[in-house]
Structure 1
Amino acid sequence: MTNVLIVGAASAIAEATARLFAEEGCRLFLVGRRAERLAVLCDDLKSRGAEQTASHELDMNDFEGHEAMLAAAENSIGPIDIAYIAHGTLPDQKACQDDVDLTLQEFRTNALSTIALLTRLANDFERRRTGTIAVITSVAGDRGRESNYVYGAAKAAVDSYLEGMRQRLHKSGVRVVTIKPGFVDTPMTAAFDKGLLWAKPDAVAQRIHRAITKGGDVIYVPAFWRLIMLVIRSIPRRIFKAIKL
C-alpha cells in the first residue's frame, strides 16, 4: 500500500491528482489551510477508493509547523512513500513592484516554504533510502519575464534546489520529480483569458501521476511547453529585453 502526502491538497491540480491516487487504493494525507475543505476532500477520496484519508490544517508559511505536520502524517498513514508538494500563490506582479513586503511574502510562499519542507523531507527519505518527492514549480521559472518575474524567480529558486537535491538523493535511491505546468485553467487563473495553450486540471493531473509513478525527472505539462520554453530561453538578451512577454 502506497502512502501519499499531498501539500496544497485543495488546489485544483492537486485535487485532480489525488483522485488518481485514491483510485489505486493509496493512503492519503492531505495538507492545506482550510480544514472544512480538506474534510470534504477526504470523504470524496475515500468514496473513490482510497484505503485511508486524513488531513492536517497548516499554512505552509508556518515553518515551525512543518515538523509536527510530518509527524502527524506518519502517525496517521505510516512512513511517506510519495511526497507531492503543490501549494503556492500567483502574485500580482505590479503590486509586488510597488510593495517590498508583498514581494518578500510571495517569495516566502512560493519558494522558501517549499524549500523548508524539502529540507526535512530529503533528510527523512535519504535515511530510509526510498521514496519519491514531487514538486509543482512552473514554466515561469525558466526565464525571468516582465509580466511575472517575482513568481518566476521564486519558482526558479525551487527548480535549482530540486536539481541539486535530485543529484544528492539519487545515490540513496530516492526520486525527485520537478513538475513544470504551463497555463492551467484553475480558480487561481480565473481572471485570465483562456486560449489554445490552456490545459484542464484533469489532463495535467494524468501526466503528473504518470511521472510520479512511472518515472521522470523534469516534466513539462502539457509537454509542448518544453519546446515553447526552449524557444523563449534561446532568444538573445539584446532582443529579449525589448519585447513584451
Structure 2
Amino acid sequence: MTTWIILGGTSTIARVFARSAAERGEGVILAGRDLDDLNASAADCAARGAPVAEAVAFDARDRKSILGIVERARTLDAFSVAVFVGSMPPQDQIDAEPALIEGTVTDSFTGPAECLTRLAPLMEAHGKGTVVGVGSVAGDRGRVGNYVYGAAKAGFHAYLSGLRNRLGRKGVHVVTVKPGTVDTAMTWGLDKLPFLAQPDKIVSDIFRAVDRKRDVIYTPIIWWPVMTVIRAIPERIFKKMSI
C-alpha cells in the first residue's frame, strides 16, 4: 500500500485520481490552496476506503508550503507523488500583461519541480514509490495560441526525464503524462477543442501506466500520432500555421 501526495488536489483530474486511489486501497494526502474543498475530497476518499485521507495546504508559489509538504512526507514510511499543478492564462492575456508569465511558469513547472527535488532524497532512501508528473501535449511544440504555457510544460517534461534517470536507479518510477484537451475548468469556454476527453479516461490511463511502469504516455492515445505529425512539420511551414 502506498500513500499518494497529490499536488494540485482541487483540480478536476486530481479529484478523480484521488477517488480511484482510495478505491484501490491507497492513501491520499490532498495538497492545494482551498482547504475546505480538499477536506471534502478527503472525507469522500476515506468513505471509499483510503487508509489515509487528509488535506494539507500547498501553493506552488509559496516555498513555505513546499517545505511543509516535505516535512509531512518525512513522517511516512513510503509514499508516491502525483503532480496536477498548473495554470494556463489565455495567451492574449499574457501578451497584454507579460507579468503573468512568472506565475504560469511557477505553477506549471518550477514550483512542482522544486517540491519534487526536495522529496527525491526521501524517495531514494525508501527505494520505492512512483512520481506521476502531468504535463501536456502543449509542451511538445510551441504554438501561437499557448506558447508560454507550452514552454512551461516543455520544461517540466525535460525535468521529469532527468528525474526519471535519477530516481530509476534507486527503484522509484517516474511517469510523464501528456494529456490532450480535457473537460475541466481549465478548458471551459475555449473553442475548437479536438479529441476532448473526460477526466475518468485520463485517470484510467495514468493508473495503467503506473501499474505497467510506463515512462511517457499520451492520453487519450490519439494524441501520440497527432503530436508525432505536429513535431515533424518543418519550422518554415509550422510558423505559418494557426494550430
TM-score by length of 2: 0.95
Q: CA shift at 1:80, angstroms?
A: 3.8
Quick check: 1:115–1:158 contact (8 Å CA) kept in 2?
yes
> Paired residues, what number?
243
Cross-structure match for 2:179:
181
Cross-structure match for 2:60:
60
Task: Give the secondary-structure state (helix, strand or coil) at the position aligned to 2:186.
Answer: helix
CA distance in structure 1 between the aligned counterparts of 2:153 and 2:199, rounded to whole angstroms: 19
Cross-structure match for 1:240:
238
Q: CA shift at 1:134, angstroms?
A: 0.8
Distance 1:73 1:170, change over 3 A: closer
Task: Give the secondary-structure state (helix, strand or coil) at the position aligned to 2:99.
Answer: helix
Give the alignment's Cα RMSD to 1 decimal.
1.4
Question: Counterparts in 2 of 1:68-83, with a 5 A limit?
Answer: 68-75=68-75, 78-83=76-81
Q: CA shift at 1:102, angstroms?
A: 1.0
Q: Structure 1: which 4+ aligned runs deviate by more than 4 Å?
A: none
Cross-structure match for 1:171:
169
Q: CA shift at 1:98, angstroms?
A: 2.3
Any unmatched runs of 5+ in structure 2?
none
State the Cα deviation string for residues 98-133 of structure 1 (Å, max 9, x = none). 222111221121111111112112222123222111
State the one-letter code of the partner of 1:128: H
Quick check: 1:5–1:80 contact (8 Å CA) kept in 2?
no
Cross-structure match for 2:134:
136
Question: Counterparts in 2 of 1:1-245, with a 5 A limit?
Answer: 1-75=1-75, 78-193=76-191, 197-245=195-243
Quick check: 1:122–1:169 contact (8 Å CA) kept in 2?
yes
Deviates more, 1:118-127 or 1:148-157: 118-127
State the Cα deviation string for residues 66-93 of structure 1 (Å, max 9, x = none). 1222222443xx2342111111111111
CA distance in structure 2 between the aligned counterparts of 1:139 and 1:22, rounded to whole angstroms: 28
CA distance in structure 1 between the aligned counterparts of 2:182 and 2:18, rounded to whole angstroms: 17
Q: CA shift at 1:175, angstroms?
A: 0.7
Quick check: 1:139–1:181 contact (8 Å CA) kept in 2?
yes
Task: Give the secondary-structure state (helix, strand or coil) at the position aligned to 2:142.
Answer: coil
